[in-house]
Structure 1
Amino acid sequence: MTSTPSANLFKPLGEGDPAVVGGYRLAAVLGTGGMGKVYLTYTPGGRPIALKVIRPEFSEDPEFRRRFQREVQAAQRVQGLYTAPVIDSDTEGSQPWLATAYVPGPSLAHAVAQHGALPLRSVLLLSVGVAEALHVIHGAGIVHRDLKPANVLLASDGPRVIDFGIARAADTTALTGTGVSVGTPAFMAPEQASAGTVSPATDIFALGQIAAFAAIGSPAYGEGSSHAVLYRIVHEDPDLSRVPAELLPLVTRCLTRDPAGRPSLTEIIELCHEISPVALRQGEDWLPQAVAGSITERLKLPEPAKTPPPQPSVAPTPTQFSPQPPAPGTVNPYAPTGFATPAAPTHNGPGAPGPVPPPPGYPAHPTQGHHTPPPGYPMQPTPPPGYHTPPPVVHAPYVPPQPPRRKQRTGLIVAASVVGAIVVLGVIGSLLPDGSGKDDESKSPSGSSSASGAGGGSDNGETPGTDAGKKRPDPKSASYKGIDVTESYQVMLADNPPRPAEGDVSYGGGDLYYYVDSLFGEDNYIGTDNGKFILLNNAQKGSLETCRAETRFTERITLDQLSDGSEFCVLSDAGHIAVATYQGKGGAEGSTYVTFDLTVWRNAEEAKPED
């Protein structure tokens, strides 16, 4: 077996990726989701964990931070056999993050896309495992809200449910602002899709959807636009014609439109045991061999990063290198002798500025289970008997005495400089041409033609013959039909014709990019990293004037917000403006593309200076 699959699973850190987050040295990129980017890292003991860094736009929202902190605290109470436990977090830092146990297994969505539907026994063990996970999650007072195949990982010893409750933190931020409910449309419950109401019964409906998806290889309510799928979920019955007869009682009851009519988690587990022709026991053989092979690939982890954390770029103050008496009970065993012990950091934010970085292999602040050193580990170096620590000696550098400075007459110097400049300019002006040449008419100080002999300036104070006060002429438009932009590809409006190219779309890329969140939601969205988007209303006609006049800017929109024929503006920082007409999505699972028609006005505005 080649190493290519593993290389695709663990991508190297890019230029924009941090080397260290919360003291954890990042080893690889696991994926990107709607709420953040996920990295592989390791605990000091070498245990792999998945660390998710929240996207900056969420981090800047105070309401999101409040909810995120509350949901993380609730998630830390979930310690089930079929969940990925929360290991560590920082909800108050400049960019919040969350670390969970690394699960070496594909998501249900990925496994079905690559290998097709699962056999009956695998579906039943999957359903039992997810039901047990929900029992623990609901017991902690959490409703998952976004249970779907992408949030169910297939480990060698059973499924793992991830991202429980975290979607709630984004409920009042960006998604609510665009009128889109939190959750994936194809796996929403009717009450969630119609009124945004959620309860533990909402997750029961999603469990029935997951069981049907695993058994038939596609959603029970079909595919298509989000609006069409949501309408079927709310008003129509699912298509269960391909669901195995043995599973029909389980799936049908879970997909009952009335939440009160759905079975409890205990009933679901009992029903799965009744359906199975053999006793249900989780084991290494619970998955088909092809799916189990992808677990092996995920065990080929990259080596932990061995480079030390980056040193502070700002020079420390003198007090940072002065011996400071530590507060009682806060001695840092990792602080070198003779250095100030930094303020004790917490999980909710960084410590005092300028702390000395820890030695290799240790987080910058203690993680759960590592708040104190192991027994027998000295809290600080112990001097030999009779040894007295001498007081620090600080030698100030020798500074020779300076002679008294003569008081300078600043006013006279400035006045002399101004007079000298005026004289030089007068000499230069006398040497210039008199402006009588035809080619130099526009350079005449009066702005008049020497041929006319008419003196006179402009009544409005502007100089005739210059570009002052003139409006930039509108450029001619260029139209392009049927541009297919593949997942993780981008388009630059300056290209003629625009050619989609593979780019770095982890946090956006290019003037127009298309991305699929395959790790945390499989949301399809388009965006820009070089400008702004404006989604036009149905009553608006896309034009240069419309794009200039609208101010409802965003940087990303999901395909849920678009239908065939929808128009949106793209205003690039380079000064190009385009109207894109969405023509739909195509391609198979695992390789999709979207099609646009583009009308581009190049150099329609002044380019914005780079930061």
Structure 2
Amino acid sequence: MSGQQPGHGDASKIFQPLAGDDPTTVAGYRLAARLGAGGMGKVYLSYTPGGRPVAIKVIRSEFGDDPEFRRRFAQEVKSAQRVQGLFTAPVIDADTDGERPWLATAYVPGPSLADAVVAHGALPVETVLLLVAGMAEALHVIHGAGIVHRDLKPSNVLLAADGPRVIDFGIAYAADATSLTGSGVTIGTPTFMAPEQAEGGRITPATDIFALGQVAAYAATGVPAFGEGTSHGVLYRIVHQEPDLGAVPERLRELVGRALAKDPAARPSIAEIISLCQAANAETVLRRPEDWLPGTVAADITVRTAAPAPAADRTPPPPGYTPTAPATPPPTGYAPTAPAAPAPAYNPTGPATPPPTGYAPTAHATPPPTSYAPTAHATPAPGATGPVPAPTPAPGYAYAPTHTGPQAPGFPGAPVPPGSRPPAAPRKRGPIVALAAALVFGIAAGGTAYMLLKDKDQATKSSGSTQGGSSSQGGQGGATTDAGAKPSSKPSTKPEPKPSDFKGINLTAGYHLTLGDETVRPQDGEDGGYELSYDTGGYLDAESSGGSLVLLDPGQEGSLAVCRADTRFTENVDVQMLSPGRQVCVTTGTGHMGLVTVRGFSAEESPSKYMTLDLTVWRNAVASSG
């Protein structure tokens, strides 16, 4: 499936009316228009409950009938939901198990690069440099989530007002598994393939770098680097011939030429791509102005920004519906604004060095407090008469839940059922005053008794430091305690355990780690009550008696104190929830504590399935459960 918005300039061609064979809703999303179609299905415009436009991609039924496609599609959607980059269109919702699989991404109001070049010709050098730099940043985040795009081409790059957006990453991998690709159904185009793809070889992130070079050449010249013609002819030239870069501007030639190296190992890294863009920009820092696109291309964005609203829902509200609260909460699991785990980050304006971890560009603001009530009616103005007018309803959503009914009790904003409020108690000042007086006398008497007992107790104890020092030896005072006294709250003088660090452990699925070992290294076995194992089912497991795991939040920095304080215990963590930089606290039943930092995962083509991690161990850091 290619870009979201085909056509250019004419809104009637961009937002096509729904045809007789088009659905009107998809899992509660009311469809407003059709945006386009491709080899894998159709793309529709809809809206979230908050009014955010989204692109709904409905997969063709032929693919939905293929079990292997569904398996891969579900895997790629989970990976794609972890991608949260400035130059990608995030996946915000999906259903991989329904009759027709679908996914929803943020709608990007801009033409595809393919449409822009066809309509307006090649782009200026400055625009191409900003385009390539933004695409490189998008690939960095995509690769960081363990995804190779495989189908990076001009129709999968959208031109927004603030930069490019790379879409449809990873979906081609699901299509590769089906028998349909060999029976007349075309997925993607060979014009932008890498040599290793054309030969059926190993696919790596370098495959996307080759495609990036092809896209750059196309944007700068208006024609593909290896020409046009039959698929077989183009693929032959990609594998055996050099690209024609005669029309590529001199400032872009080194960048494009290096990206189009036949040998994947000879292609530049993403950081080097950024450096080459800076070098072509007279060694200056790349800055993206609002007018980074030519005026004619920017005008196409204006047309796409005015997306049509869907027809209002004429379904009568259910009995008891109150306009100050939605008729029903969104379906379980719907979280369009929930960010995925952040991918490793880097500084695109810095030197060509490996990017550091911890990048979190999509951190969201703190949610409003529980008591937030945006639908409360306004207070009538002083002196006003008559009923308070109802608030003006917001524009109709495109999202229409498939089930209706009153809100669940306790849901924020839900109306309180009549008669559910307890009646106000009558005021009885006399008994309250008497009770207060009795409490005052009781507290005073208790305080006096406490002071007398405290003075007596202090006389029978040797003096000690209130800052945690030990009491003097000898006498009965040190051993005399009240039978009902609480344990001492004095901090322990036991020194904190020293950390032991183990870097770059490749933990293979079916193997485990024992934190108490002098040298922690993977050992065979996953179901023997081990302290930390990588289960072949796809999750980290803490099986030892009293063992537990805690998955720290994205951006949360783990430490001994953090791991001790956090109580969100679980016995296993799905590997799909992990991405480079995420951390997991491990507590063993033998009294050890560890901090796992995920560094990466094995490539799809690797003969073994493993994750690379760093491990910090604090031995005897907690009380043993044995």
Report the TM range for the smaller structure's normalisation.
0.5 to 0.7
The reply to whether residue 16 of structure 1 matches residue 16 of structure 2 is no
Q: Distance in 2 between matches of 1:71 and 1:294?
A: 31
The reply to whether residue 55 of structure 1 matches residue 60 of structure 2 is yes
Q: Deviations over 1:205-254 (max 9, x none)?
A: 00000111001100000000010000000000000011111111101100
User: Residue 296 of structure 2: which of 284, 290, 298 is its match?
Assistant: 290
The 1:372/1:224 distance shift into structure 2, 3 A limit, reads farther
Q: How does 1:197-596 map to 2 (within 5 A)?
A: 197-277=202-282, 279-308=285-314, 334=327, 362-364=399-401, 376-378=412-414, 381=417, 383-385=419-421
Distance apart, 1:23 and its partner CA: 0.6
Decide whether the 8 Å contact of 1:80 with 1:136 is kept in 2: yes
| TM-score, scaled to structure 2 | 0.52
Look up the equivalent residue of 1:16 and give its one-letter code. D
Q: Deviations over 1:432-487 (max 9, x none)?
A: xxxxxxxxxxxxxxxxxxxxxxxxxxxxxxxxxxxxxxxxxxxxxxxxxxxxxxxx
The 1:181/1:31 distance shift into structure 2, 3 A limit, reads closer
Look up the equivalent residue of 2:401 and give its one-letter code. A
Q: Distance in 2 between matches of 1:126 and 1:373?
A: 50
Distance apart, 1:304 and its partner CA: 2.4
Distance apart, 1:17 and its partner CA: 1.3
Structure 1 residue matching 2:199: 3-state secondary structure: helix
Q: RMSD of the TM alignment (CA)?
A: 3.3
Q: Distance in 2 between matches of 1:295 and 1:346?
A: 33
Look up the equivalent residue of 2:118 and give its one-letter code. A
| TM-score, scaled to structure 1 | 0.53
Q: Distance in 2 between matches of 1:68 and 1:155?
A: 27
The 1:373/1:43 distance shift into structure 2, 3 A limit, reads farther
Q: Deviations over 1:531-579 (max 9, x none)?
A: xxxxxxxxxxxxxxxxxxxxxxxxxxxxxxxxxxxxxxxxxxxxxxxxx
Structure 2 residue matching 1:364: 3-state secondary structure: coil
Structure 1 residue matching 2:287: 3-state secondary structure: coil
Unpaired stretches in structure 1, ≥5 consecutive residues: 312-320, 322-331, 337-341, 349-358, 388-611
Look up the equivalent residue of 1:29 and give its one-letter code. R
The 1:375/1:158 distance shift into structure 2, 3 A limit, reads farther
The 1:181/1:13 distance shift into structure 2, 3 A limit, reads closer
Residue 133 (structure 2) aligns with: 128
Residue 511 (structure 1) aligns with: none
Q: Distance in 2 between matches of 1:363 and 1:374?
A: 22
Residue 6 (structure 1) aligns with: 11
The reply to whether residue 68 of structure 1 matches residue 73 of structure 2 is yes
Decide whether the 8 Å contact of 1:116 with 1:217 is kept in 2: yes
Q: Distance in 2 between matches of 1:373 and 1:148?
A: 50
Q: Distance in 1 between matches of 2:17 and 2:185?
A: 33
Structure 2 residue matching 1:39: 3-state secondary structure: strand
The 1:308/1:197 distance shift into structure 2, 3 A limit, reads farther
Q: Distance in 2 between matches of 1:310 and 1:91?
A: 31
Distance apart, 1:141 and its partner CA: 0.1
The 1:192/1:377 distance shift into structure 2, 3 A limit, reads same
Look up the equivalent residue of 1:385 and give its one-letter code. R
Decide whether the 8 Å contact of 2:17 with 2:33 is kept in 1: yes
Look up the equivalent residue of 1:293 and give its one-letter code. A
Decide whether the 8 Å contact of 1:26 with 1:40 is kept in 2: yes
Q: Distance in 2 between matches of 1:199 and 1:74?
A: 16
User: Residue 190 of structure 2: which of 170, 185, 192 is its match?
Assistant: 185
Residue 165 (structure 2) aligns with: 160
Q: Deviations over 1:256-278 (max 9, x none)?
A: 00000000000000110111135
Q: Distance in 1 between matches of 2:266 and 2:306?
A: 45
Distance apart, 1:346 and its partner CA: 5.3
Q: Distance in 1 between matches of 2:259 and 2:101?
A: 36
Distance apart, 1:376 and its partner CA: 3.9
Look up the equivalent residue of 1:76 and give its one-letter code. Q
The 1:375/1:307 distance shift into structure 2, 3 A limit, reads closer
Decide whether the 8 Å contact of 1:69 with 1:91 is kept in 2: yes
Q: Distance in 1 between matches of 2:399 and 2:132?
A: 39
Look up the equivalent residue of 1:13 and give its one-letter code. L
The 1:377/1:117 distance shift into structure 2, 3 A limit, reads same
Decide whether the 8 Å contact of 1:27 with 1:40 is kept in 2: yes
Distance apart, 1:196 and its partner CA: 4.1
Q: Distance in 1 between matches of 2:100 and 2:397?
A: 23
Q: Distance in 1 between matches of 2:174 and 2:409?
A: 34
Q: Deviations over 1:153-210 (max 9, x none)?
A: 0001100000000111111114443398954201000011012431100000000001
Distance apart, 1:18 and its partner CA: 1.2
Look up the equivalent residue of 1:294 and give its one-letter code. D
The reply to whether residue 84 of structure 1 matches residue 120 of structure 2 is no
The 1:41/1:182 distance shift into structure 2, 3 A limit, reads closer
Distance apart, 1:345 and its partner CA: 5.3
Aligned residues: 348
Q: Distance in 2 between matches of 1:289 and 1:44?
A: 33
Decide whether the 8 Å contact of 2:31 with 2:398 is kept in 1: no
